[in-house]
Amino acid sequence: MRITNGKIMRLFLIPALLMALALCSQAYDITEHPDTTKTDPPDVIPEKVSEKDEDHPSDLEDQELAPYMELTPDTMGISAVTSGINRSLAVADMRIEVSINNRELYVFSGREKIATYPVAVGKPAWPTRSGSWAVYEVVWNPWWHPPDEEWAWYRAIMAPGDPDNPLGRAQLIYDAPRSIHGTIEPSSIGRAVSHGSIRVTNEVAMKLARQVMESTGIVYGEEWYEEVERDRSRNVRIRLSQHVPIRVYP
């Protein structure tokens, strides 16, 4: 068979043309059908949820269940004066010791014992714990919230001034929910009847609260104390910048 030059040219040109058409078709597809897997960022960035609000909702609940008044002259509605002691430098020279067996509380100023008070301690089923801590908060006219313990499961919250409030007129917190506090049952003093806390009379509780405050540099005038003692419903909660040592022993 005789192959002419024209036939040879057609043999090479036809495949070349087909390849060119295929390339053009691919180019057309890329142009008309862009990658749709990529998306633009949203116009509005969702607001970040506060970690405090999401992870710690009890913060707000606590404020509703246990309202308290900050220690300021404005919130107390009376004048308050300090003795000029620099609170940031004040060091508590007071310490407290409690003998469970003797059912007594001792107040020391430095090495000197300056007061002794009878106390009620925990009953055998709920004994008062031995150990060393520090009083870090003083509460005048405290709220009572039932602790998460079997004996208190069906007890109701008691507001400041409620005649059934077992904390009485003042509270010194050192190992929450255990504390030194007043009582509505003064006849219980000297006995083992509490659920682990240390009870004193209301008079002693208020005296200790004032001593603790003043030993850490928080000193207010007589008018302040008269007001907070007179108004049983007024809850004042004081976080101490300096802590008062307490030791409880058998």
Convert the pLDDT of each residue in 5-50 to its tens digit.
Answer: 555 555 556 666 566 555 544 443 433 333 433 333 333 333 333 3
pTM for the model: 0.65
Same domain, 26 and 120: no
Same domain, 142 and 185: yes
- Output phi, psi for 163, to 5 deg: -60, -15
Which residue's structure tokens are 């022993």?
Answer: 249
How many structural domains compose the chain? Answer: 2
Q: Domain span at residue 233?
A: 68-249
Contact between residue 172 and residue 211 where contact means Cβ atoms under 8 Å apart: no
Is the per-residue pLDDT at 103 higher than 80?
A: yes
- Output phi, psi for 194, to 5 deg: -85, 180
Same domain, 177 and 72: yes
Convert the pLDDT of each residue in 39-80 to its tens digit.
Answer: 333 333 333 333 333 332 223 233 333 333 444 434 443 333
Convert the pLDDT of each residue in 127-186 to its tens digit.
Answer: 999 999 999 999 999 998 888 878 778 888 999 999 999 999 999 999 998 999 999 999
Task: Please report, for the domain that includes residue 108, its CATH number.
Answer: 2.40.440.10
